Amino acid sequence: MTSVQKNLLVELFVEELPPKALKKLGEAFANGLRDQLVAQGLAEPASVLTAYASPRRLAAHLTHVAERAADKAVSQKLMPVTVGLDASGQPTPALLKRLAALGADASVVPGLKRALDGKAEALFYESTAKGATLAEGLQKALAEAIAKLPIPKVMSYQLESGCELPGWSSVSFVRPAHGLVALHGDGVVPVEALGLHAGRETHGHRFEAAIDPVVLRDANSYALQMQDEGAVLASFEARRTEIARQLAAAAVRAGGGTVPIHDDALLDEVTALVERPNVLVCSFEREFLEVPQECLILTMKANQKYFPLLDSSSKLTNKFLVVSNISPEDASAVVGGNERVVRPRLADAKFFFDQDRKKSLASRVESLGKVVYHNKLGTQGERVERVMRIARAIAAPLGDATLTAHAVQAAQLAKADLVTDMVGEFPELQGTMGRYYALHDGLSAEVADAIEDHYKPRFAGDDLPRHKVGIVVALADKLETLVGMFGIGNLPTGDRDPFALRRHALGVIRMLIEKDLPLKLDALLQDAAAQFKDIDGFDTGKATAELQDFILDRLAGSLREQGASAQEVDAVLAPRPQRLGEVPKLLAAVRAFAALPAAAALAAANKRIGNILKKAPEADAHVSELLLHEPAEKALHAAMAEVVPAANAQFDAGDYTASLQTLAALREPVDAFFDGVMVNAEQADLRLNRLGLLMSLHVAMNRVAQLERLAA
C-alpha cells in the first residue's frame, strides 16, 4: 500500500544566531534534512525544498514526504557454501549462528539463494526490510543535520529539568535552542532534538508579533503565519530582496539622485540581523565630509552596518540608510538614535585624520624599524629597504631616471601609513591612507597613487596599478614577499596560505602579461633573492628555482581557467618561457598551428624525434653534407636550409604564428625521412650525422613551444 505523502515543516527556534554564518547555517540545515529523508526513502529526489533562516530560527519545508518509507528487499551474503553446508547439505553450526544473529533459524536454509561470489559459490539470505516511519527517519535526519552544521563556534549550555530530562544536562549547539517544530501536514511528528520535544508552537518578532506564541496550523501555513501573526519574514532570500527594494526606495526619498553603496556581504549580514526590515534615512553633519570618504564609509559599514548614500559621481553624501528591525508609527526616535550613534564614530575618524597629517609619511619610515615583519626576515623597515632595491632594479630597464626615482620613493613610503592612527584603527585602509597623506605632503600624484596601488591586485579581477610607478612598486613588493617566504621554506600547503603567496604570484603574472613588460622571470627572482643574502638560513634555490616552478604552475592554472586546453598550455610552458608577456602570443601561435592539416603529423614526428634523442646523449646539432647519403635525408636537409632560417627570422621578430606556419612546410620531407632512412645506422659517423640532423630539426621546431605536447 502506498504511504500517504504530505509536506513537512521543521523549525529550530534559537537565540540570535551569528549573522555572518546564518545563510550557510540555514542552507546546510535544510539540505541536511532533505538529503537524509531522500536517502531513507521518505522523500522523493524531486521533492521541493525551501530553506528558512532568520536571526532566531532555522527551518525547512519539504514537499512530498511519506509517513512510512516503502519496504525494501534485502540480500545479505552469509558465507561460502562449503563453509555453511556440510557434505550432506545440512547447515553447519557456523551457518546456524549467523542466521540466529539475523533473527532466522534452520527453517530458512532450503530457501537460501546460491550465487557465485568471485570464484566460489556463496549463500545469500533474502528478506524484506520494513521501511522507516517518518518519526524514525526524521529523528535520524535531525541528528545528522544538526551534527553536520558548519558551526563557526559551538556553545555549551545547560537544560533544566523542565525539558523532561533528569536533573541538568549539557547541550552543545551554535546558540541555545528553545523550541522545535515538526509538522507533517497538520500533524506533529514526535521527534526530539537538543533536549526539546517537537510541537507546533513557535515565536515571532520579539516586539511586533501580533500573537505569541504562533500556533502553526500545518506545514504549508508556516511562511504566511510567520509574516502575518509573527511579523517575521522567515525566508533569508525574501528578506534580502525586500531590504534591497527598500534601500532603493529610500535612496529615492533621500533625493539628489543618490544610490546606496553596493556591498553584497553587508547586505547578507544585515539580512541576518533583522526579521522585519524597515529602511530609514538618516544624516550627519557635512563637516565630516572633509575626511576621506573611504574612512567614513568603512566606519559606517563595519561598525554600524549602515548603507552610505553616494551621489551620481560616486561621492559620499551626508546621508545614510539604516535597516531597522522595528517599524514604529513615528520613526524619529530610531532615526535620531542612529544619528547620535554614528556621530562619535565619524568624529574619531576626523580626529585620526587630522592627527596623522601633523607628521609627514617620510618622518614615519624610521618607526617601521620597530615593527616586526617576520621573525626570520626582520622588521618592516628592513623589508622596505629590500623592496626599494628590488624596485630600483625593475625600474631601470622600464624607463628613465625619473621613473626609478619615483619608484624608489614610493617603495620607501609605501608601508609608512601602517604606523598611522587611522590605519591602526582600520587596517583595511592601508595604502589608501598612504595616498591621501602623500598628497598632503606635496608628493607627485604618481608616487601617491603608487603607494595605494602597490597592494593591487588584491583579489581575482581587481584592477592593476594605474601608472608605471605603481606597477614597479607592486612587482617589487610581491616579489619580496614571494622570494622571502620561499627562501625560508614558508611555502603554502593545500589548505593554508597565510601570506597569500598564490595571490601574490598571480599578481606578478598579471602585471608581467597584461602590461607586456620586457622583464625576464628568472632575472627578477635572482635580483630579488640577492637582497636576502644576509638572512641566516636563506635558501636561494628555493627562492628562485622552486618559486619559478610555483609561478609557472599558477600561470598554467590561470590559462586553463581562461579556456586554453591542457595540451596547449603544456606545449607553451614546457620550454619555461621567461618573458611572460610573450605567453599570450605563444599560445595564439600554438592554437593557429594546431588547426593546420600538417599539425598532427609534425607533433607526432616531434615526439618521435624527442624519444630518439633521449636515447642518444652523444648527439649534437652538427650536420655534415658529405655524410648525407639517402635521398630523403638530403631532401630534409635542403628543406630545413630553406625553411628554418625564415622561421627563425619570424620568431626573432616576435611573429610566432608565422614561424610555426612556416615550419609546417617540413611535414612531407620529415615523413619521407622516417619512411626512407634508418637513423641508427651501423656506421657511427652516419648515425651521429643523422642524429645531428634530427637535433637541429628538434631545436628549430621547439623554439615557440614544445610541439610534441600536442601529439595525441
pLDDT for residue 163: 47
Verify cis geometry, omega within 30 degrees of 0, for the bond prior to 669.
no
Predicted confidence band of residue 160 (pLDDT cuts 50, 70, 90):
low
We report the CATH number of the domain holding residue 520 as: 1.10.3210
Which pLDDT tens digit goes with each residue over 240-255?
A: 999 999 999 999 999 8
What separation in angstroms does the CA of 290 have from each of 35, 305, 655, 676? Answer: 55, 22, 54, 84
Same domain, 370 and 454: yes
Does residue 233 lie in a domain region? no
- Higher pLDDT among residues 517 and 76, named by residue: 517
Phi and psi dihedrals of 313, rounded to 5?
Answer: -100, 15
Alpha-carbon Rg of the chain, whole angstroms? 36
Does residue 424 lie in a domain region? yes
For 672, residues 6+ apart whose C-beta sits below 8 A from its C-beta are 632, 635, 636
Distance CA 353, CA 275 (A): 37
Does residue 543 lie in a domain region? yes
| Buried b / exposed e along 305-314 (16+ C-beta atoms within 10 A) | ebbbbbeeee
How many domains, the chain? 5
Residue 341 CB: number of other CB atoms within 10 A? Answer: 14
Region 196-217: mean pLDDT is 94
Which pLDDT tens digit goes with each residue over 377-397?
A: 999 999 999 999 999 999 999
Does residue 568 lie in a domain region? no
Region 147-151: mean pLDDT is 91
Does residue 79 lie in a domain region? yes
CB 666 within 8 Å of CB 551: no
The DSSP secondary-structure symbol of 7 reads: E
Among 563, 598, 632, where does a domain finish?
563
Among 129, 148, 173, where does a domain finish?
129
Domain limits at 83? 72-129
Does residue 355 lie in a domain region? no
pLDDT for residue 98: 87
CB 225 within 8 Å of CB 233: no
Same domain, 81 and 147: no
pLDDT for residue 118: 78
Region 170-182: mean pLDDT is 91
Asked whether the predicted pLDDT for residue 124 surpasses 60, the reply is yes
The DSSP secondary-structure symbol of 68 reads: B
Distance CA 377, CA 397 (A): 28
Across the chain, mean pLDDT equals 92
Q: Provide the CB-side half-sphere exposure for 652 (13 A, CA).
A: 7
Hunting for cell 585620526 — which residue is that? 352
Among 185, 205, 228, where does a domain finish?
228
Same domain, 516 and 546: yes
Distance CA 194, CA 13 (A): 11
Same domain, 158 and 279: no
Predicted confidence band of residue 260 (pLDDT cuts 50, 70, 90):
very high
Q: What proportion of the chain, given as a percentage, has pLDDT over 70? A: 98
Distance CA 578, CA 551 (A): 11
Among 66-75, 254-263, 348-357, 647-656, the least confident range: 66-75
Same domain, 56 and 90: no
Q: Residue 124: enclosing H or E segment and its boundaries?
A: strand 120-129
User: Residue 112 has which C-alpha cell?
Assistant: 537460501
Does residue 574 lie in a domain region? no
We report the CATH number of the domain holding residue 214 as: 3.30.70
Region 629-650: mean pLDDT is 93
Same domain, 250 and 280: yes
Which pLDDT tens digit goes with each residue over 302-354?
A: 989 999 999 999 999 999 999 999 999 999 999 999 999 999 999 999 999 99
Same domain, 34 and 169: yes
Q: Residue 594: enclosing H or E segment and its boundaries?
A: helix 583-594
Distance CA 431, CA 456 (A): 10
Q: Name the nearest CA neighbour of 466 among 481, 450, 443, 455.
A: 450
Asked whether the predicted pLDDT for residue 162 surpasses 50, the reply is no
pLDDT for residue 165: 47
Residue 710 CB: number of other CB atoms within 10 A? Answer: 22
Region 79-108: mean pLDDT is 84
Distance CA 211, CA 232 (A): 12
Region 425-446: mean pLDDT is 96
Distance CA 325, CA 334 (A): 10
Same domain, 41 and 190: yes
Same domain, 421 and 473: yes
Same domain, 10 and 152: yes
Distance CA 458, CA 195 (A): 47
Same domain, 590 and 685: yes
Does residue 141 lie in a domain region? yes
Which pLDDT tens digit goes with each residue over 478-502?
A: 999 999 999 999 998 888 888 999 9
pLDDT for residue 412: 97
- Name the β-bridge partners of 125: 76
The pTM for the full model equals 0.81
Same domain, 435 and 510: yes
- Higher pLDDT among residues 81 and 141, named by residue: 141
pLDDT for residue 161: 53
